[in-house]
Structure 1
Amino acid sequence: MAVLFVHTDRLEIRLTRAEKILSLRRTNIDIPLDRIRSAVITEDPWVWVRGIRAPGSAVPLTLAIGTWKVHDGKDFLLIKGTRTSVVIDIDGEGDGAEFMRVIITTTHALELLRALRLPPAIEDPAKEIATD
């Protein structure tokens, strides 16, 4: 499972070798902290998935690793099963941020939100889908 590090200026997601192979990436993911707009804990990460896989690997409702292209940018998914995940929305793809949204399964979701200094919130993803 990927290891998350919160530095003073960025969130670093260190992918394992298997995750890099499945996502067809060579590098880890760095997200500037000043670009993080919001982060939400979710019990069902699959309702947050949008767009089409390109490139990456997926087994429906079991595994999603890689880049998903959406209308105006890209999302990165690292979802394993239906375990607790964190949905991180990012401002301004391109200017220091590679993705618009990152969804990552982690057993340390609340600790991640605390480290990011964002308020811990559990939100109904149906509201997000209805407003898109």
Structure 2
Amino acid sequence: MAAAEGAVIACHTKDEFDAQMAKAYEAGKLVIIDFMTSWCHGCQEIAPVYAEYAKKYPAAVFLKVNTEELEEVADFYKIDGMPTFVFIKNGETLETIEGPEKDEILDAIKKYIGTPALASA
């Protein structure tokens, strides 16, 4: 999993998603899931910001799920708008943020994992 730290991990199958969730659960890490679609303007707008957060906060696992590819996962989390960000730790959903709300997303990251690890700028 170390190779994925600091990156957004796109899950294209239910098996990939389940494997990433299991690894994060085992490691006790916060998981942030970006539920998106390729045609969603807000999703495209927030994607580079989300990728920056992934680099800045390697203590969390940043997943990306295309709701058209993984309807089953989107249905499980009751996703009805895009983008939607779901924060999960130890199997518990902590918070859900709907829309490309970069400040709200950042505030939630800080709330659940604190300040970023010291890294080169």
Query: Which structure shows the bigger proportion of residues in strand conformation?
Result: 1
TMscore range, shorter length: 0.3 to 0.5
Name the TM-score, length of structure 2 as normaliser: 0.37
Query: Which structure shows the bigger proportion of residues in helix conformation?
Result: 2
